[in-house]
Amino acid sequence: MRIAVVDDNRQEREELVDWIANALEKRCWMGECLEFSNGVDFLNAARKEKFDLVFLDIYMEPMDGVTTARQLRALDERCLLVFTTTSTDHALDGYRVRAMHYLVKPFWREDVELLFDELASRLPQADVFIQVKVGRQMQRLPLGEILWAEHFQHQIHIHTGNMGEILCRMTFGEFSALLRQQEQFLVCGRGVLVNLAHVWDFDGTDFLLDSGARVPVSRSAVEHSRKAFGEYLFQKRRMRS
């Protein structure tokens, strides 16, 4: 996740960057936060590589935040935009450039925390991770990499897209607790968990994954799994519309 903080006030900019870093760490989200003191430098960077989230001060020189936002939208229609400002007088301008939120100065760490709670459903899944102990070391595991997992011989076997099979010694309850807040993960059998984001079909006995793998569903979990998969697809379509 690439985040930009654009503000000509150095102290306020650095303070916001610190709060963002804390919010990312608290939620186990991966990301880099870049600072810009003016809109011109920010737009030059945005032309080279897109940002997922931009915090943009409105009252800046030589280019104000609204003008910067308009030029940003010409480059990128999808990045999330948050205005940081001393006034909401530009609410109509914010609507026109599809700003998702205003942080009115002076704002505090708690305001940033609430904003990141709101962002949870909008940010890329690949930027969210859990930490698992592999051998003697802790390893970051992006949620988007997890295809499915099973508990076997006192270990969790985590099947991933690009990282191979990861083994970690923990109970299934401990592992599933790490994913409790993530709606795309479904327990579909005794010691078996699947990432619905990688499921393309359910044939009544197995989930069929985009990797070609088949994940078995226990008889007692068939109806619940069918319903959960249907609800997940419905929510996914609604978010895209």
Tens-digit pLDDT profile for residues 73-82? 999 988 899 9
Residue 81, CB half-sphere, CA atoms under 13 Å: how many? 26
Would you list the DSSP string of 152-201? ETTEEEEEESSS-EEEE-S-HHHHHHHTTT-TTEEEEETTEEEEGGGEEE
pLDDT at residue 170 is higher than 60: yes
Asked if residue 92 has pLDDT above 60, the reply is no
Residue that wins the pLDDT comparison between 140 and 6: 6
Asked if residue 192 has pLDDT above 60, the reply is yes
3-state secondary structure of 226: helix
* pLDDT tier at 158, thresholds 50, 70, 90: very high
All structural domains of the chain, each given as residue ranges with its CATH number in brackets, are 2-119 (3.40.50.2300), 131-240 (2.40.50.1020)
Q: Check residue 95 and give its pLDDT.
A: 61
Q: Residue 90's pLDDT is what?
A: 59
Q: How far apart are CA 96 and CA 17, in angstroms?
A: 26
Q: With bands split at pLDDT 50, 70 and 90, how would you rate the model's confidence at 146?
A: very high
Mean pLDDT lowest among 13-17, 117-121, 188-192? 117-121
Q: Is the predicted pLDDT of residue 123 greater than 90, yes or no?
A: no
pLDDT average, residue stretch 110-119: 89
Across residues 201-214, what is the average pLDDT? Answer: 95
